[in-house]
Amino acid sequence: EVQLVESGGGLVQPGGSLSLSCVASGFTFSTYAMRWVRQAPGKGLEWVSTVSGSGGSTSYAGSVKGRFTISRDNSKNTLYLQMNSLRAEDTAVYYCAKGLPGGETGHWGQGTLVTVSS
């Protein structure tokens, strides 16, 4: 069974940094692209970033480019999101998600809440 468990969320001041982690199990982690998707309170889903299975290719939404960095450690089955220069509008539940070979998002974690506020 695929399991994705996020951690690292919390309260941070505007301009601060936070690092999220997602531990994966139940599948061959290095074979699949992984991504972060966020959901602001009461709003819809917003794609944040994707990393390829090898970690050699990354992509970002325009709203986070230059501030967020996605990475992975295939030896630890772990996905990361380093978030810098955080803004109030980054407040959201951040979901770790597994990509499928066809391109779609196939599995979701339970999410971790990030609140940016003074």
Partner 1 sequence: QPVLTQSSSASASLGSSVKVTCTLSSGHSSNIIAWHQQQPGKAPRYLMKVEGSGGYNKGSGVPDRFSGSRSGADRYLTISNLQSEDEADYYCETWDSDTRVFGGGTKLTVL
50 vs 78, beta carbon nearer partner 1: 50
Enumerate residues 54-93 that contact partner 1 by CB under 8 A.
59
3-class DSSP state of 28: coil
User: Which of 46, 53, 71, 115 contacts partner 1 by CB under 8 A?
Assistant: 46
Question: Does 3 participate in binding partner 1 (rule CB under 8 A)?
Answer: no
Which position among 32, 50, 68, 80 is part of the footprint of partner 1 (CB under 8 A)? 50
Among 13, 25, 54, 110, the residue binding partner 1 under the rule CB under 8 A is: 110
Tokens, residue 76: 């630890």
Which amino acid, 28?
T
Closest distance between partner 1 and the C-beta of residue 118, in Å? 28
Q: Is 77 left (phi over 0), alpha (psi -120 to 50) or beta?
A: left
27, 75, 92, 105, 113 from 39: Cα distances, Å:
25, 29, 5, 15, 9
Q: List interacting residues with partner 1 (CB under 8 A).
A: 35, 37, 44-47, 50, 59, 95, 100, 102-111
